[in-house]
């Protein structure tokens, strides 16, 4: 069976779509209301942008402050300056630090240069009599041949 040729150009161009009553009369008003009233989302967006702007300004101020006014390095000696000698001694006794550990961290040059002069026995300055010297040698069993 041969189908009749369908010619779309011969079809009446009717509009099967409908609109509600008064739709086109009311549409301009609906659009105008949206144009003239700022949306809730835009208000929220403006508030959010203000908040972000304030945070950014604060961050810049803090950054500039740190950049131009940096903190000085705190030396260990500064921290120890507030602690009394007796506290340090008590701490060393408590921690049972060995003499090796102490010697490891002590700068001998500093110790020698900063030590009290009276701590050193300058034998060259000592004026001992021959009898006193002989007494010492005998006590410590030093051979007089060394002398």
Partner 1 sequence: MLSHEDSKIYGYNLLIREYQERIYWHVRKMVIDHDDADDLVQDVFIKVWKNMSKFRSDSSLYTWIYRIATNECLNFLKKKRNKFFLPIQDIQGELEDKLECSPLIDGDDIQKRLQKELLKLPDKQRLVFNMKYFDEMKFSEISEITGTSVGALKASYHLAVKKIEESIKSD
For the chain, the first-to-last Cα distance in angstroms comes to 146
Whole-number minimum distance, CB 48 to partner 1, in Å?
20
Nearer to partner 1, 19 or 147 (CB): 19
How far apart are alpha carbons 81 and 50 in whole angstroms? 48
How far apart are alpha carbons 22 and 28 in whole angstroms? 11
Nearer to partner 1, 28 or 70 (CB): 28
Maximum CA pair distance of the chain? 154
Whole-number minimum distance, CB 55 to partner 1, in Å?
29
Whole-number minimum distance, CB 19 to partner 1, in Å?
6
Nearer to partner 1, 6 or 140 (CB): 6
């Amino acid at each position: 069976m041969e189908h009749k040729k369908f010619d779309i150009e011969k079809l009446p161009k009717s509009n099967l779509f409908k609109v509600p009553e008064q739709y086109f009369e009311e549409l301009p008003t609906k659009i105008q209301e949206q144009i003239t009233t700022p949306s809730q989302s835009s208000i929220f967006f403006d508030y959010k942008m203000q908040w972000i702007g304030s945070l950014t300004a604060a961050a810049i101020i803090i950054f500039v402050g740190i950049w131009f006014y940096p903190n000085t390095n705190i030396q260990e000696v500064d921290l120890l300056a507030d602690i009394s000698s007796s506290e340090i001694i008590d701490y060393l006794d408590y921690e049972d630090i060995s003499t090796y550990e102490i010697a490891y961290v002590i700068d001998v040059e500093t110790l020698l240069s900063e030590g009290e002069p009276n701590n050193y026995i300058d034998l060259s300055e000592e004026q001992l009599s021959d009898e006193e010297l002989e007494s010492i040698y005998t006590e410590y069993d030093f051979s007089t041949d060394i002398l």
